[in-house]
């Protein structure tokens, strides 16, 4: 249990940190596609929007992992202080 919170916090932090980079990259990719294929329609921006949506989902998953890691730390601290009181 001691390393579980570290893994959750590190992986969650990485996903939360990299998520916005993917979102911005997807939007940039969509605008670049529109610039080169002005008459192509929605098909030109689909790949960029897909990347942005996947990155947003990964960012939310990372946030959930980060919160879970913090909860594990708080629960472990409360258990260790309860054992000292007995």
Task: Check if the beta carbon of residue 14 is closer than 8 Å to that of residue 58.
Answer: no
Question: What pLDDT does residue 36 have?
Answer: 83
Residue (of 50, 75, 59) closest to 11 by Cα position:
59
Cα–Cα distance measured from residue 70 to residue 80, given in angstroms and rounded to the nearest whole number: 15
Task: Check if the beta carbon of residue 65 is closer than 8 Å to that of residue 47.
Answer: no
Question: What pLDDT does residue 33 have?
Answer: 86
Domain residue ranges of the chain, discontinuous segments joined by +: 4-81
pLDDT tens column, 17-65: 999 999 999 999 988 888 887 777 777 788 889 999 999 999 999 999 9
Question: What pLDDT does residue 55 have?
Answer: 94
The answer, yes or no, to whether residue 85 has pLDDT greater than 60, is: no
Task: Check if the beta carbon of residue 4 is closer than 8 Å to that of residue 72.
Answer: yes
3-class DSSP assignment, residue 45: coil
Question: What pLDDT does residue 37 have?
Answer: 78
């Amino acid at each position: 249990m001691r390393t579980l919170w570290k893994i959750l916090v590190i992986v969650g932090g990485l996903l939360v940190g990299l998520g916005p980079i993917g979102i911005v990259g997807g939007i940039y990719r969509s605008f670049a596609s529109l610039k080169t294929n002005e008459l192509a329609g929605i098909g030109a921006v689909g790949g960029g929007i897909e990347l942005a949506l996947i990155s947003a989902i990964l960012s939310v998953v990372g946030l959930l992992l980060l919160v879970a890691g913090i909860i594990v730390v708080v629960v472990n601290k409360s258990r260790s202080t309860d054992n000292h009181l007995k």
